[in-house]
A and B are shown apart, each in its own frame.
Chain A
Amino acid sequence: MKGYRDYFLKKLGWFILTVVVAFTLNFILPRLMPGDPVAAIVARMAQGMSNATGVQAVYEQYTRLFATDQPILNQYVIYLRNVLNGDFGYSISQYPRTVADVIGSSIWWTIALQLPAIIVGWVIGNTLGALAAYVRKGFDKVLLPISIFLSNLPAFGMAIILLVIFAVHLKWFPTSGGYAYEMVPNLSWEFVWSVIVHYQLPFWSIVLITIGGQAIGMRSMAIYELNADYVKYARFLGIKDNKIIRYVFRNAMLPQITGLALSIGTMVSGALVAEIIFNYPGLGSTILSAVLGGDYPLISAATLIITFMALVAFFVLEIIYGLIDPRIKAAQSE
């Protein structure tokens, strides 16, 4: 599959390049602001911390970390080296935990929530959209307004609606947290069940919003494809409808995958806000508390990680697309 290998390498190269650019941006932006970043950090820290030796230790660490006394190129290299080692420094708002530690504990919650939610939402949304395009009649008339409504809601809007209806009024689900607050994470069945229960509302918020957007897109694509010339031609040659339908949807799906890749950024941000509303212990809440606590290193690291994850997702999607669309292999091999 020589053709595919070229495609893969091209996408890989692009991926590496964007990671580098993202990293550089993450490095440069704060330093463009006037003033000494370390002093600013320390000033904010001093408000929250009462331990003088603690403040001193963090200050020293940051001077070392940022190397503000050295030329900027050195700073970049040092930062790069630290990041690759997983050393993001200490968290100001949760001292003495390190940033890596804080992120480490919340990142898995976020991935476990968002990844399945986005995938499930995408699958359901596309299926509904495809059905609406094929069946039309009543189903379509019902689905379309619902999807329009869903896709217009901001992510946090859906989160709040679900929260109010199901958690506050009906009391079917808890209102916040990743698990019951009195429990300590362990592998017991109760804990796992508690996690599952707490998982439901944030999960379904993200799923529902995704469904809205995907259903509309897929419906338009499917309608377009269903009226395509090759469908008519295949019919004229006597090919059965079910076979034709299968190919129509396959063709309609391809741009949807691309669409998904392009909107990963928006979806992730929306999901983060949803997390916040539910006090879900993922990166969203981490960022919120970091902002409230003026914890620059935590924010910087969190944004870097989120960007990285989004880039990885994008890369994976592009690879999958290359595998599914047969034209890619063919085109590349010429």
Chain B
Amino acid sequence: MARVVLQVNELTTRYITRFRENIYAVDHVSLKVEEGKSLGIAGESGCGKSTLALSLMGYYFAPLHYTSGEIIINDHNITGMDPDEVRKTILGTEISYIPQAAMNALNPTRRVINFIEDVIQAHLPEVSKKEIYELARERFELLGLPAEVLQKYPVELSGGMKQRTVIATSVILSPKVLVADEPSSALDVTSQKMVIKMVMDLMDKGIVKALVFITHELPLLYNVTDDIMVMYAGQVVEKGTAEEMVFDPIHPYTRALMGSIIVPESGLRNVKLTAIPGTPPNLKNPPSGCRFAERCKYVRPECRVTTVNLNEIGNGRAYRCIIPEEDLRRMYKSEQQK
């Protein structure tokens, strides 16, 4: 049983609007990532996955507030840790973050190497600039980036180059966990491939021990991550291994997501393409029953009124629906045969 590097227990975080309303963007989410493994988080925009990423860093800025739950990174329980300590000992060294649009993530008036100096010196002030340069050069070359990049200003780099520079910078201190928030979404296809390759390289080369990969593109996750978790309206609706999630989805939402992509796998050729009608619920006043009920094809009257909990069915598999899994699978099968 491999070591658990990232563990999140029933994390709840909320946004407080200017009218003092609470929006629970992350609602009792639990997850676990073992050493050497990667977890993909998928869902529509607004489902809370980006907020989850921010919350994982343990660094809360108004209007985002921590509410309850635990976050344990590499055996450090950062729940309730003093923010300054989090900054010094956790951020960048235990867990790091790759932002969504890397285009703007770098300070336009600072050279790459200077920025790296800032990052390293914020944690290890004794390291000399020369040592930093050596480390940076080594690391960059290891990841396929030429050393000249270090001397440049962000404006001189292309989009894909910038993203890869950001990735390399994020892991310069070899954090145990890396959270990548849609790292490839803003790029052209060729650059996307390079970025993904780089992220996977990080795992292979052992620079990071665990990876959390957030995206709205499900097909990506099948090739990149070991496990997949699907979120909807702030809650986890299903989780399991990549194989299970893609070929044997249980929750109707997961299935609908699968049905809305084109997969060349022969086994799925019969799955009809469907867009998911409707929009996610307003999280200011979440519906009392199942949050997916409005858009669910298989909705029953009880769905709207009963509180639906996560069903753990063993081996890390879980889904959130009051309909038993056998019934769901049966319904899916009969559809496929039509």
List residues of A whose CB falls within 8 A of some B CB: 228-230, 232-240, 243, 247, 250-251, 254, 325-327, 330-331, 334
Contact = CB atoms under 8 A, between A and B. Distances in A.
B88 A238 contact: yes
A237 B110 contact: no
Nearest to A330: B153
Nearest to B153: A330
9 contacts: A233-B97, A236-B96, A237-B122, A237-B169, A238-B91, A238-B93, A240-B87, A251-B108, A334-B156
B77 to A, nearest CB: 18
Contacts of B104: 228-230
Contact of B122 (A232, A239, A254, A331): A239
B155 to A, nearest CB: 6
A234 B118 contact: yes
Contacts of B109: 247, 250-251, 254, 325-327
B166 interface: yes
B99 A237 contact: no
Interface in B74-122: 87-88, 90-93, 96-97, 99, 101, 104-111, 115, 118-119, 122
Interface residues of B, number: 32
Counting chain A CB atoms within 10 Å of each CB, which of B91, B93, B105, B123 scores highest? B105
Contacts of A238: 87-88, 90-93, 119, 122-123
B59 interface: yes
Given A230-B104, A243-B122, A250-B109, A236 B57 contact: yes
Contacts of A334: 156
A251 B122 contact: no
B55 interface: no
A237 B92 contact: yes
B152 interface: yes
Contacts of A229: 99, 101, 104-105
Identify which of A251, A325, A326 gathers the most chain B CB atoms within 10 Å of its CB. A326
Nearest to B93: A238
Given A233-B106, A237-B169, 15 more contacts: A229-B99, A230-B107, A236-B57, A237-B97, A238-B88, A238-B92, A238-B123, A239-B119, A239-B122, A240-B87, A247-B107, A247-B109, A250-B109, A251-B107, A254-B109
Contacts of A251: 107-109
Given A243-B118, A327-B155, A331-B155, A236 B107 contact: no
Interface string B178-220: 0000000000000000000000000000000000000000000
Given A247-B110, A326-B153, A237 B96 contact: yes
B84 to A, nearest CB: 9
Nearest to A248: B107
B122 A236 contact: no
Nearest to A229: B104
B235 interface: no
B167 to A, nearest CB: 12
Contact of B97 (A236, A325, A326, A327): A236
Contacts of B110: 247, 326
A97 B201 CA distance: 83
B211 to A, nearest CB: 16
Contacts of A235: 59, 87, 91
A230 B106 contact: yes
B174 interface: no
B170 interface: yes
Contacts of B152: 330
B54 to A, nearest CB: 9
A234 B109 CA distance: 14
Nearest to A331: B155
A242 B237 CA distance: 41
A330 B155 contact: yes
Contacts of A325: 109
A326 B111 CA distance: 9
Contact of B108 (A230, A232, A240): A230
Contacts of B88: 238
B122 to A, nearest CB: 5
Contacts of A243: 118, 122
Nearest to A333: B156
Interface string B130-149: 00000000000000000000
A237 B88 CA distance: 9
Contact of B91 (A228, A236, A247, A327): A236
Contacts of B106: 230, 233
Contacts of B169: 237
A229 B101 CA distance: 8
Nearest to B91: A238
A165 to B, nearest CB: 40
A234 B107 CA distance: 9
A235 B87 CA distance: 8
Nearest to A324: B109
Nearest to A251: B109
Interface string B254-271: 000000000000000000
A243 B118 CA distance: 8
B119 A237 contact: yes
A12 B261 CA distance: 59
Given A232-B99, A236-B99, A237-B91, A330 B156 contact: yes
A229 B109 CA distance: 14
A238 B169 CA distance: 12
B93 to A, nearest CB: 7
A291 to B, nearest CB: 47
Nearest to A236: B97
Interface centre among B90, B115, B166 (most CB of A within 10 A): B115
A233 B122 contact: no
